Amino acid sequence: AVKASGRNGIQVWSEALERSSPAIIQIETGLHKAIARNELILHYQPQVDMASGRIVGVEALMRWQREGRLVPPGEFIPVAEESGLIVPMGEWAIEEACRAGRRWLDAGMEPVPIAVNIASQHMQHANLSSVVQGALTRERLRPELLELELTETGFMKEIAASLTQLNALRSQGIEVAIDDFGTGYSSLAYLTRLPLSKLKIDRSFVDSLDKKNEDRAVVTAIIALARSLKLRVVAEGVETRAQMEALMAHGCTIMQGYLLSKPLPEAQVLELLERQKNFGAEPRWQAMRAC
């Protein structure tokens, strides 16, 4: 792991070693140039409301086109966070997501909100809300079409600093989702006071929905919590029919996962949106609901 928590001596020591390793330095140097060279791209994973079989949002997931290979975020986001590059990269992602939103509207699609992942470090950056505002204004997008995803752990770590920013964003009309929910240590008292719009149930809980009883209890508790706080709830990492059915049975209908679709290049998302506009719900998803 590149990002050591530094809770003990051994971890700090290995972090220092890793930071100066040639591989890490190479990634960092490459990332510096990646934005200017247009090597970063966004893929989009549909979020489907199984009650209607329609796409109700997409999550933008970053990839790095590096020397003919598509590098997944797990290999470069930790380095970007370590080096602070995550801030300009996050700004690029916000701007690119807004440009995509504009392209899709111009292509005649129905409006679909795009969610962008924001690192906790970026959440405390003073410029965030003006970058968001600038991108929305430039692309003439309503703020509801941009959503920010913050991981629960990252957010709770710096709650005070994040809170001011969160309030600013919400007053601009931006939707805010808590990502990987259930893995952190949210204070429930805080949750009721935060201007949030959505909880995303972490994949690890969804994954064991058809296996472990304790985790099933966590999922049902999160769904009930979201409902009582009047937040929307999305299940991430839905891979099987059994998981989908269990989620439906507990009242969570919005799902994201390989069962429905992997993250897709822009052209393929556009095809899905186009079909949805012309023919309604995707037949494959319709069929899943019917059984």
The binder of 119, among Mg ion, ligand C2E, none, by C-beta within 5 to 8 A per type, is ligand C2E
Task: For residue 152, state whether it binds ligand C2E (rule: CB under 6 A).
Answer: no
Which listed residue (9, 22, 74, 108) binds ligand C2E by CB under 6 A? 74
**Shortest Å distance, C-beta 121 to ligand C2E:** 9
**Shortest Å distance, C-beta 280 to ligand C2E:** 24
**Shortest Å distance, C-beta 168 to Mg ion:** 21
Q: Give, as ranges, the residues between 218 and 237 that touch Mg ion (CB under 5 A).
A: 236
Task: For residue 119, state whether it binds ligand C2E (rule: CB under 6 A).
Answer: yes
- Angle formed at CA 2 by CA 234 and CA 27, multiple of 5 degrees: 100
CA proximity to 114, closest of 145, 89, 87:
145
Q: Give, as ranges, the residues between 3 and 42 that touch Mg ion (CB under 5 A).
A: none
Q: How far apart are CA 154 and CA 284, in angstroms?
A: 36
10/212 with CB nearer ligand C2E: 212
53/237 with CB nearer ligand C2E: 237
- Three-class SS of the chain: CCCCCCCCHHHHHHHHHHHCCHHHHHHHHHHHHHCCCCCEEEEEEEEEECCCCEEEEEEEEEEEEECCEEECHHHHHHHHHHHCCHHHHHHHHHHHHHHHHHHHHHCCCCCCCEEEEECHHHHCCCCHHHHHHHHHHHCCCCHHHEEEEEEHHHHHHCHHHHHHHHHHHHHCCCEEEEEEECCCCCCHHHHHHCCCCEEEECHHHHHCCCCCHHHHHHHHHHHHHHHHCCCEEEEECCCCHHHHHHHHHCCCCEEECCCCCCCECHHHHHHHHHHHHHHCCCHHHHHHHHC
59/139 with CB nearer ligand C2E: 59
**Shortest Å distance, C-beta 167 to ligand C2E:** 21
Which listed residue (48, 62, 94, 148) binds ligand C2E by CB under 6 A? 62
**Shortest Å distance, C-beta 105 to ligand C2E:** 21
Extract the tokens encoding 121: 């470090």
**Shortest Å distance, C-beta 136 to Mg ion:** 20
117/165 with CB nearer Mg ion: 117
**Shortest Å distance, C-beta 71 to ligand C2E:** 10
Which x/- pattern, by CB under 5 A, does the window 161-190 give for Mg ion?
Answer: ------------------xx----------
Task: For residue 117, state whether it binds ligand C2E (rule: CB under 6 A).
Answer: yes
CA atoms within 13 Å, Cβ hemisphere of 206: 28
Question: What residue ranges bind Mg ion (CB under 5 A)?
Answer: 117, 149, 179-180, 203, 236
Question: What residue ranges bind ligand C2E (CB under 6 A)?
Answer: 45, 61-62, 72-74, 77, 86, 90, 93, 117-119, 149, 179-180, 236-239, 256-258, 263
